[in-house]
Amino acid sequence: MGRARGSDATLQLAYEATYGTPPGSGYHSLPFVSTSLGATRGLIESELLGQGRAPLDPTPDVINNDGDVVVPVDPSFFGYWLTLLLGEPATAPVDDTFSHFFGSGAAVLPSASIPIGHPRVPSYSVNYGVRANTLQINATRGGLLNATVGLIGKGETTPGPTTTIPPAGGLGTYNRFAQASGGANADGVQLASLVSGTINYSNGLDKIETIRPDSEIEDVDPGMPTAGGNVTLRFADHALLNKAIGGIPISLEFMWSYLNSSLTLTMDRVFLPRPKRSITGPGGIMASFDYQASTGANPMLRATLGRTSIASFTA
């Protein structure tokens, strides 16, 4: 027996054949930075009067299981989160590796069961009926590249001291993308003087909150997806400013690489607002564009995970 520590925590993922039913196999041990996933159930305070000054017992409310998971962006494991967010990719072999092509707007999105374990206690539970709603990636000059995935789950099993799911193994040789390997293109040309950028995507998931004896949601349906974010540049030319003033859409592409592996996020039709160029002192002047993406001939957001050792992110 011991106290739970984040350094010992485990997180796994398996796609569900039936929504809300944890599968008996197919689990993958995934690295993560932090997570707030887990079921909560609030209490409703008693409003009854006429029983004296002492309050009566509260009543349990409905179950909610919403939370985020912050994960490293890497060639080997990030594809599992992209599959949960965007659906099954198209995959093509490249020499002894594989490239995976994801696109937003799928009519049907997968659900997953996500067990979380604390071996020191020990305590194990499974979050089931989990669908991915949002993705956020912040691009900066330095540091490690992480992604925040917003999740909506149906429920969580009661934590217990044992689990039927195989324990998580070590990562072995592990590679991940770094911010220093990143870049961005606008209309196929490197975006000069880029200081920072943000990529936001949402599936617009709609909870089906029906009246049920288990107090859980019935399901989660895909809504209208949205994509957008921000790019902040040192003000040095009129290239993006003219596009913003003219209402001319651009293609915007963020990419990162490690050795032969790469991740590219592409939005083919992006609209820019006209920004201010505030002068706040003697230093450099910034132009910040809060962009919005739209759907054109291609999906609104495309993700290409190139030259990975993983043949499939769906099993």
For the segment 95-153, what is each residue's pLDDT rounded down to a tens digit? 899 999 999 999 999 999 999 999 889 999 999 999 999 999 999 999 999 999 999 99
pLDDT tens profile 281-302: 676 777 888 999 999 889 999 9
Task: Please give the single-letter amino acid code of residue 23.
Answer: P
Q: Which alpha helices (DSSP H) does the chain contain, by range?
A: 78-86, 239-246
Average pLDDT, the chain: 91
Please, which pLDDT band fits residue 240 given cuts at 50, 70 and 90? confident
Of 27-31, 100-104, 236-240, 242-246, give the lowest mean pLDDT range.
236-240
pLDDT value at position 302?
97
pLDDT band (50, 70, 90) for residue 3: confident
Coil, strand or helix at 304: strand
The SS3 of residue 268 is strand
Give pLDDT, residue 200: 98
pLDDT for 236: 60
Q: What pLDDT does residue 39 have?
A: 94
What pLDDT is stored for residue 179 in this prediction?
93
What is the per-residue pLDDT for 285?
77
Query: What is the spatial distance between Cα 20 and Cα 23, in angstroms, rounded to a whole number?
Result: 9
Six-digit token pair at 248? 């001319």
Please list the residues that pair with 194 across neighbouring strands.
233
Report pTM. Answer: 0.93
What is the model's pLDDT at position 315? 60
DSSP tally for the chain: helices H, then strands E: 2, 21
Residue 171 — very low, low, confident or very high, per pLDDT cuts 50/70/90?
A: low
Top pLDDT among 296 and 164 is at: 296
Closest CA to 239 of 178, 187, 170: 187
